[in-house]
Amino acid sequence: MRCPFCKKDNDKVIDTRPSEDGSAIRRRRECLGCGKRFTTHERLEEMPVRVIKKNGRREPFDRSKIHTGVLRAVEKRPFSIEDVEKLVDEMEREILDQSEREVSTRDIGELVMAKLRAVDEVAYVRFASVYREYSALEEFINEIRTFNPNGKTNGDKE
Ligand SMILES: [Zn+2]
């Protein structure tokens, strides 16, 4: 870990413990360069979750995608930044905590919809309409691809 004070990358760990909710490891470190102490939080990600897209491609699970969708859904609704974080944390934890290491975009969409529905009907309806439109578009693109198997669409890089 790079020391936030002197930027040297040389430290020893003096204490390790799980965070309150168990989703991260908190390490207290001492810099061997300047002697100052700092804390790092490491998320438990030894077994990353991969997302299976409709076309069968896999990509690493990306929390920010859920975050963006939820933010858009709760726009002008009575949600604080903290409320949104909590909600997204809950969704993320549910996805990362399951034993399956691969999850479909559909499963994620359903989970987000279920969670939103439980807290705000308007946010739920908004998310669901955007999600369904997106799903339909993705299906449409896949259909075109099967007609033209050599065709590439933008954003199709590995
Ligand atoms: Zn230092």
39 alpha carbon – ligand 1 mean position (Å): 12
Q: In the numeric block, which tokens belong to residue 51?
A: 């997302």
Q: Rounded to the nearest 5 degrees, what angle is found at the Cα of 34, between the Cα atoms of 29 and 38?
A: 25
Residue 8 Cα to ligand 1 middle (Å): 6
Q: Which of 23-27, 34-38, 44-48, 140-144 has the highest mean pLDDT?
A: 34-38
Burial of residue 69 (CB within 10 Å: 0-12, 13-18, 19+) is buried
C-alpha 25 – ligand 1 centre gap (Å): 21
Q: What is the largest CA-CA distance in the chain?
A: 64
What's the gap in Å between 154 CA and the centre of ligand 1? 45
For residues 137 and 66, what is the distance between their CA atoms, to the nearest angstrom? 18
pLDDT tens figures, 54-107: 888 999 899 999 999 999 999 999 999 999 999 999 999 888 877 778 899 989
Percentage with pLDDT > 70 across the chain:
87
Q: Give the distance (Å) from ligand 1 centre to CA of residue 105.
A: 43
Structure tokens at 2: 């790079």
Distance from the alpha carbon of residue 26 to the mean position of ligand 1, in angstroms: 18
Q: 121-147 and 63-73 helices cross at what angle (nearest 10)?
A: 130
Q: State yes or no: pLDDT of 155 exceeds 70.
A: no
pTM, full prediction: 0.59
